[in-house]
Amino acid sequence: MARVLAETHPDAHCELDHQGPLQLAVATVLSAQTTDKKVNEVTPKLFARYHSAADYAGADRAELEELLRPTGFYRNKTTSLINLGQALVERYDGEVPGRLTDLVTLPGIGRKTANVILGNAFGVPGITVDTHFQRLVRRWGWTAETDPVKIESAVGGLFEKRDWTMLSHRVIFHGRRVCHARKPACGACTLAPLCPSVGLGPTAAPAAAKLLKGPRAVELVVAAGIDPGLVPATAVAAEVP
């Protein structure tokens, strides 16, 4: 299944636009309860205004809140970023640490966020157990665990450590584009022959093809051996959740 995922999603990557650990840490804090697309719309102006941990630590709350408003829960996120900046300045000389044990002590940074930062900013392999990852690995029978830390451990034991970060990206890509929470596109899924949960969504190709999302929807059905003409323009234009 991992090999098929790699073939299906050769473009898999961290979908939060960033340059360096601090920007990625900030973007992941902002990604809570919103889409990566929305975060990427907000961060260019944010990153142009705030360049360092000290900038966030000393930010004007009202100004920062206004910049973050489109991401939702902007007051809480403003508090998290100010506190994050202060903690980095006080404890790490303004630099984002590159160890899991340090990252999870920072305001707004949980284990999931820490693994995103480690894998994508520091090249340290990590498994990102977000809602998509949790849903898919359970559907696929990779683990029956429900606790994110136990899921991380169980799935990590199935794969070489060097593959953890890219595996996470591919699973999340698949969850956002094909294997949706309510109606997975089973009939247009490259993993269908291997999936123990096939049938949770429509298995007929025409119905399944309509459920795909994103600019590579046509390529995804071709990879699944389905007529690309079945993919409507609305699927290609659909916002990836």
Catalytic residue numbers, as ranges: 112, 130
29-61: buried (b, 16+ CB within 10 Å) or exposed (e) per residue? bbbbeebbebbbebbeebbeebeebebbbebee
60: CB partners within 8 A, 6+ apart: none
AA identity, residue 152? E
Give the 3-state secondary structure percentages of the chain, helix then strand then coil, rounded to 5: 60, 0, 40
For residues 200 and 123, give the distance between their C-alpha atoms in angstroms, rounded to a whole number.
36
Residue with tokens 């559907």: 139
